[in-house]
Amino acid sequence: MGLGSGHVLGTWFLEFVPAANRGTWVVVFHCTWTFGTILQALIAWAIMPVLGWRWLIAMSSTPCFILLIFYCITPESPRYLCSRGRTADAQFILERIAIMNNMALPSGILIVVPQRRSINALCTLVSRSLIRSTLLLWFVYFAFCFAYYGIVLLTSELSNGARRCGPVGMHFWQQNDARLYRDVLVTSIAEFPGLILAALLVDKVGRKLSMGAFAFLCLVSIAPLAAPLEEGLATVLLFSARTSITGSYAVLYIYGPEIYPSSCRNTGVGVATSLGRIGGMIAPLIAVGLLESCHQKEAVFVFDLVLFLAAIACALFPLETKGCQIQ
């Protein structure tokens, strides 16, 4: 439940970055996720064979306690403060930002608090114009989350060269195999090329095209896995798929908050993220359940179908937010 609020960090950070290079910096911000996945793979490799999963969970929870130290010094979003009528607090934070950057706040800056009637009218207008974008966003979050965690689980399943079909429960007796940790580590490192490509493309070709292209590349990378492959080739394809899905997820991390105004940004993204987590819940049924039942072709087909539909959904978004000021 606590980790479910992670999307707030993205919407909060977005409101501090200028429009010209907002996409690049949000992708850089997203790199912290990749650092975490690599660190987790290394910790699991070191701890699981010796101490077991309980110690792994204990070590993994440590950064959450460190976060508590930072909350007391984290500035509130000036946009949020203005929407609540706390203009003095917003002015104070803007002045602190100017001091930290060795600059002066522009003279004559004016913070205007909209009247509640204006806010209500804006929300009505937004709700009418964003219905299509919101529905598409829900599906794309579902699809990308489904594909991301599915690829992680496919890596675990296909890392065991001696894997045989059998009950799903037998899968958990294979976790001391060093190849599992090695392949998870390699494919986790694959996220860095995806983030680099996303950072280079997102502010040049736009959000919609970047997301759609990454989704299509992920589809192409997964498709050959329908047939039994040599372990090295399977790892290369999973590396490519992980690169692509990370790039698409990083761009979605930018695009989702951008299409909503400040008054409902976090709510809109939060609902979309929660639907995405449903995709994460379903992914094990496909990536583990079907593979353990000797239905590898069917599992790959499902992932490719979802990614294909996600690429179409990206093309159907009515808004392109590249270089636009957030509302």
pLDDT tens digits along 226-267: 887 777 788 888 888 989 998 898 888 888 888 888 777 888
What is d(CA 215, CA 192) in angstroms, rounded to the nearest whole number? Answer: 16
Q: What CATH number did the domain enclosing 269 receive?
A: 1.20.1250.20
For residue 149, which of 187, 176, 117 has the smallest C-alpha distance? 187
In a domain, 107, yes or no: yes
Q: Give yes or no: residues 100 and 133 share one domain.
A: no
Cα of 32 vs its chain's centroid, Å: 11
Q: pLDDT by residue (tens digit) across 305-327? A: 999 999 999 999 988 877 776 66
What is d(CA 325, CA 137) in angstroms, rounded to the nearest whole number? Answer: 20
Q: How far apart are the first and last CA of the chain?
A: 29
| Final residue of a structural domain among 90, 113, 136 | 113
In a domain, 68, yes or no: yes
In a domain, 325, yes or no: no
- Look up residue 164 and give its DSSP letter: -
Q: Give yes or no: residues 172 and 88 share one domain.
A: no
Q: Give yes or no: residues 99 and 181 share one domain.
A: no
Q: Give yes or no: residues 26 and 146 share one domain.
A: yes
pLDDT in tens, the chain (327 residues): 777 777 788 778 878 887 777 777 877 887 888 888 888 888 888 888 888 889 988 888 888 888 888 888 888 888 888 878 888 888 888 888 888 888 887 765 555 555 544 445 445 545 566 888 899 999 999 999 999 988 888 877 776 554 555 554 444 444 456 667 776 777 778 888 888 888 888 888 888 999 999 999 999 999 888 887 777 788 888 888 989 998 898 888 888 888 888 777 888 888 898 898 899 899 888 888 877 777 788 888 999 999 999 999 999 998 887 777 666
In a domain, 321, yes or no: no
Q: Give yes or no: residues 234 and 288 share one domain.
A: yes
Query: Which two structure tokens, joined as six digits, stand for 11?
Result: 């919407």
8 Å CB contact between 231 and 264: no
What is d(CA 48, CA 195) in angstroms, rounded to the nearest whole number? Answer: 29
Q: Give yes or no: residues 92 and 224 share one domain.
A: no
Q: Give yes or no: residues 149 and 233 share one domain.
A: yes
**Max Cα–Cα distance, the chain, nearest Å:** 71
For residue 251, which of 325, 189, 317, 187 has the smallest C-alpha distance? 317
Counting the structural domains of the chain, the total is: 2
Q: Residue 261: helix, strand or coil by DSSP?
A: coil
In a domain, 230, yes or no: yes
What is d(CA 211, CA 71) in angstroms, rounded to the nearest whole number? Answer: 32
Alpha helices in 101-206, H assignment, sequence order? 116-129, 131-158, 178-189, 191-201
Q: Give yes or no: residues 136 and 202 share one domain.
A: yes
Q: Give yes or no: residues 142 and 281 share one domain.
A: yes
Query: Which two structure tokens, joined as six digits, stand for 235?
Result: 């790892």
8 Å CB contact between 190 and 246: yes
Q: Give yes or no: residues 295 and 252 share one domain.
A: yes
Query: Which two structure tokens, joined as six digits, stand for 100?
Result: 């930290």
Q: Give yes or no: residues 197 and 258 share one domain.
A: yes
Q: Give yes or no: residues 69 and 85 share one domain.
A: no
Q: Residue 112: helix, strand or coil by DSSP?
A: coil
pTM of the model: 0.76
**Which residue range forms the structural domain that includes residue 18?**
3-74+123-316
In a domain, 145, yes or no: yes
